[in-house]
Amino acid sequence: METKIFKIASIFENPDELQQAADILARGGLVAFPTETVYGLGANGLNEDAVHAIYQAKGRPSDNPLILHICDTEMLPQLAREIPEVAVRLALEFWPGPLTMVLPKTSRVPDAVSGGLDTVAIRFPSNLIARELIRRSGKPIAAPSANLSGSPSPTTAQHCIDDLMGRVDAIVDGGSCGVGLESTVISLVRQIPTVLRPGGVTVEQLREVLGEVRVDPAVTHPMAEGQKAASPGMKYKHYAPKAKVVLIDGQQEAFVRYVNERKENGVFALCFSEDVPALKVPVVCYGGKEHPEEQAHALFDALRRLDELGAALVFAHCPAKDGVGLAVYNRLLRAAAFDVVKI
Ligand code: TXA
Ligand code: MG
């Protein structure tokens, strides 16, 4: 299949390109597009065949449900059967933005979107290109991250091109994504609101609005054999570069010593800028130690770079585990398949 590339500087400068991309979506095609979190691979979320095509293009297991993206809260009632008061409060505080809410679904939401669950995940992105695409297509847009299943989520159009060229109808190039990690997913169908995936909206921020908020154990722990996932995405190995990644949890000096003692061909460090001067192995830096937002923004590109550089074994310096750091930690844990060394 031929993949069109639409370069969009802004929604005001390139309305024609945006319209062409929106028309492809409305016709049932697949379009990769930027959001403030990561690039999404979009399709008309009410068109069962279009949604199936997403799974095919990504090579994604079909029991892993998709997020529906809206551009207006007026689209919500046709998708969610109940809109509890907590959802209204969260929408007022965090929408548009990097927060996805899991709510009971209406019968309009195809099973292909919900992976057979009776709930649906909904997000109202803040990225203007994303919003304008959704508005012009006139549909809620189902969109997982626009990577091949298993590889790190794309934060630039080039990442999408690397993974999906020839597999999708179009890629909208709208520059690099601000947050750099996928949205926070919160389930509102349980007694206590529960974070299924941490992201740019932090658990601390959610607690300020809602009071009690739980964090699903699968955010920081591997799932036991046979355990049922609250969020099916959590059971798959994710974000993984081809190299083996080990997460090293310790202070700067200990980290540097640990890595330098294991210097060998193919050994790399994925580290903070403060670690760089003392390291004797090749490094890819993912931001400053005290700057989780910077780390979030850089992480997925850093994981892809490690592969390009031919890394075989990567020692990654563990981030903080609170605020946006929790989201960075969650992705790195998965990249490392939960292989953590505490030093
Ligand atoms: O930031 C994001 O959320 C990006 C951009 C494109 O919006 N999208 C994204 O989609 O990360 P995806 O498909 O890569 O991740 C969706 C996550 C998966 O872990 C999935 O299991 C979970 O949301 N999810 C979707 N529907 C769900 C549901 N009904 N109940 C529980 N978890 C759900
Ligand atoms: Mg994904």
Per-residue pLDDT of the chain (343 residues; tens, 9 = 90+): 999 999 999 999 999 999 999 999 999 999 999 999 999 999 999 999 999 999 999 998 888 899 999 999 999 999 999 999 999 999 999 999 999 999 999 999 999 999 999 999 999 999 999 999 999 999 999 999 999 998 899 999 999 999 999 999 999 999 999 999 999 999 999 999 999 999 999 999 999 999 999 999 999 999 876 777 777 666 655 677 889 999 999 999 999 999 999 999 999 999 999 999 999 999 999 999 999 999 999 999 999 999 999 999 999 999 999 999 999 999 999 999 999 999 9
The reported pLDDT for the residue numbered 238 is: 64
Q: Is residue 224 part of a domain?
A: no
Q: Which of 231, 236, 300, 324 maximizes ligand 1 atoms within 8 Å of its Cβ, making it the mutation to test the pocket?
A: 231
Dist. CA 145 → ligand 2 center (Å): 4
Q: Is residue 231 part of a domain?
A: no
Radius of gyration, CA atoms only, the chain: 20
The reported pLDDT for the residue numbered 61 is: 83
Q: Is residue 261 part of a domain?
A: yes
Dist. CA 254 → ligand 2 center (Å): 33
Residues 211 and 253 in one domain: no
Of 322, 321, 294, 323, nearest in space to 340 by CA: 321
Between CA 218 and CA 330 the distance in angstroms is 9
Query: If you search the block for the tokens 């548009």, which residue do you land on?
Result: 96
Between CA 11 and CA 198 the distance in angstroms is 29
Q: Is residue 250 part of a domain?
A: yes
**With a 6 A CB cut-off, is 133 part of the ligand 1 pocket?**
no
The reported pLDDT for the residue numbered 1 is: 92
Dist. CA 336 → ligand 2 center (Å): 16
Residues 202 and 306 in one domain: no
CA distance to 4, 43, 140, 306, 317, per residue, from 58 (Å): 17, 12, 20, 22, 30
Residues 301 and 162 in one domain: no
Residue 133 in contact with residue 33, Cβ under 8 Å?
A: yes
Residues 289 and 332 in one domain: yes
Count of alpha carbons within 13 angstroms of residue 150, beta-carbon side:
7
Residues 146 and 182 in one domain: yes
Residues 205 and 311 in one domain: no
**With a 6 A CB cut-off, is 301 part of the ligand 1 pocket?**
no
**Angle at alpha carbon of residue 321, lines to 315 and 326, rounded to 5°:** 95
**Angle at alpha carbon of residue 62, lines to 198 and 54, rounded to 5°:** 85
Dist. CA 67 → ligand 1 center (Å): 5
Residues 315 and 248 in one domain: yes
The SS3 call for residue 197 is strand
Q: Among 166, 186, 219, which residue terminates a domain?
A: 219
The reported pLDDT for the residue numbered 225 is: 67
Q: Is residue 205 part of a domain?
A: yes
Please name which ligand lies nearest the alpha carbon of 185. 1
Task: Give the contacts of 59 (CB within 8 A, at least 6 positions apart).
Answer: 148, 149, 150
- 93: exposed, middle or buried (C-beta count within 10 Å: 0-12, 13-18, 19+)? middle
Q: Is residue 129 part of a domain?
A: yes
Give the tokens for residue 243: 């190299």
Query: Which residues sit with Cβ closer than 5 angstroms to ligand 2, an ion?
Result: 145
How many structural domains comprise the chain? 2
Residues 164 and 256 in one domain: no
Residues 170 and 206 in one domain: yes
CATH number at residue 324: 3.40.50.11030
The reported pLDDT for the residue numbered 150 is: 83
Q: Is residue 226 part of a domain?
A: no
Dist. CA 81 → ligand 2 center (Å): 25
Exposure string for 240-279, b = 16+ CB within 10 A, e = fewer: bbebbbbbbbeeeeebbebbeeeeeeebbbbbbeebeeeb
Between CA 28 and CA 108 the distance in angstroms is 17
Dist. CA 252 → ligand 1 center (Å): 34
The SS3 call for residue 77 is coil
Residues 115 and 191 in one domain: yes
Domain interval for residue 269: 244-342
Between CA 142 and CA 309 the distance in angstroms is 33
Sheet with 313-317, strands from edge to edge, namely 283-285, 267-271, 313-317, 244-249, 340-342
Q: Which of 182, 183, 190, 195 maximizes ligand 1 atoms within 8 Å of its Cβ, making it the mutation to test the pocket?
A: 182
Phi, psi torsion values for 214, nearest 5 degrees: -95, 155
Ligand 1 atom closest to 181 (CA):
1
Residue whose CA lies nearest to ligand 1 atom number 31: 231
Q: Is residue 225 part of a domain?
A: no
Query: If you search the block for the tokens 């919500």, which residue do you land on?
Result: 76
Ligand 1 atom closest to 197 (CA):
19
Dist. CA 12 → ligand 1 center (Å): 29
Residue whose CA lies nearest to ligand 1 atom number 19: 233
Q: How many residues does the chain have?
A: 343
Residue whose CA lies nearest to ligand 1 atom number 29: 120
CATH number at residue 167: 3.90.870.10
Q: Among 219, 252, 278, which residue terminates a domain?
A: 219
**With a 6 A CB cut-off, is 184 part of the ligand 1 pocket?**
no
Residues 200 and 263 in one domain: no
The reported pLDDT for the residue numbered 335 is: 94
Say whether the peptide bond before residue 96 is cis (omega within 30 degrees of 0). yes
* Three-state helix/strand/coil letters over 161-191: HHHHCCCCCEEEECCCCCCCCCCEEEECCCC
Residues 199 and 259 in one domain: no
Dist. CA 142 → ligand 2 center (Å): 12
Q: Among 219, 254, 289, which residue terminates a domain?
A: 219
